[in-house]
């Protein structure tokens, strides 16, 4: 995996992410925010995207599993050949915002949807994000087969 941090965690960065989402969203609009998040998914996670492009979802799976595990999220990851479903029952980012006494940005879940979409850009995979409740979502990655 291209990035696999395993040292001390600094969870308060979720607070700074929240402030950053609000700043960009309020001053530049949601489309600007989406473009930055999409670019983050596409370019920062280039290694995941390039593997997805050739049908290899292994790094995406490792990424999802490692970082949600590392941040002590409650989640279930279900994998089949053409479908990856990540159900997050308790999002570590939202949990940390609440611990800090911060109101989660209205765009807090946009980061997930757009970064995931960036990872899938120009690959056979598409992604969906279903918001079930606060801190509870279902992230789906679906491989489209050529007819």
Partner 1 sequence: MIPSDHFVRFYNEVFKFLDEHGGMEEFYREISRHQELHCLELFKAKGLRGMYEYWDHIRIEENCDMSLQLLPDRLTLTMHRCPSLSKAVDNDAGPCAKYCDHCPGWVIPLLEKAGYTCEYNLVDRMKPQCRMIIFPASANRPSRVFAEPLEISGKAPV
Residue (29 or 144) nearer to partner 1, CB: 29
Look at residues 32, 33, 42, 44 and name the one whose alpha carbon lies nearest to residue 111: 33
Encoded one letter per residue, x for contact with partner 1 by CB under 8 A and - for no contact, window 81-110 reads: -------x--xxx--x---xxx--------
Q: Annotate 25-45 with DSSP letters as a single string.
A: HHHH-HHHHHHHHHHIIIIIT
Task: Compare residues 46 and 98 and give the one whose CB is closer to partner 1.
Answer: 46
Using the contact rule CB under 8 A, the part of the chain among 7-15, 52-60, 76-84, 123-131 near partner 1 is 7-15
DSSP 82: T
Site for partner 1 in 118-147 (CB under 8 A): none
What is the size of the binding site for partner 1 (CB under 8 A)?
47
Sheet containing strand 125-133, strands side by side: 74-80, 83-90, 136-143, 125-133
Quick one: 82 or 85, whose CB is closer to partner 1?
A: 85
């Amino acid at each position: 995996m291209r990035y696999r941090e395993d040292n001390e965690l600094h969870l308060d960065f979720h607070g700074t992410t929240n402030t950053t989402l609000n700043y960009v969203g309020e001053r530049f609009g949601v489309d600007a925010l989406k473009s930055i998040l999409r670019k983050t998914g596409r370019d920062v996670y280039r290694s995941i995207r390039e593997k997805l492009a050739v049908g290899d979802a292994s790094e995406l799976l490792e990424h999802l599993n490692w970082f949600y595990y590392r941040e002590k999220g409650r989640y279930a990851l279900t994998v089949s050949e053409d479908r990856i479903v990540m159900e997050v029952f308790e999002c570590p980012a939202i949990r940390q915002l609440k611990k800090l006494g911060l109101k989660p940005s209205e765009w807090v879940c946009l980061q997930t949807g757009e970064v995931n979409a960036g990872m899938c850009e120009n690959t056979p995979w598409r992604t969906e994000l279903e918001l079930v409740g606060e801190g509870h979502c279902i992230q789906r990655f679906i491989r489209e087969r050529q007819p």
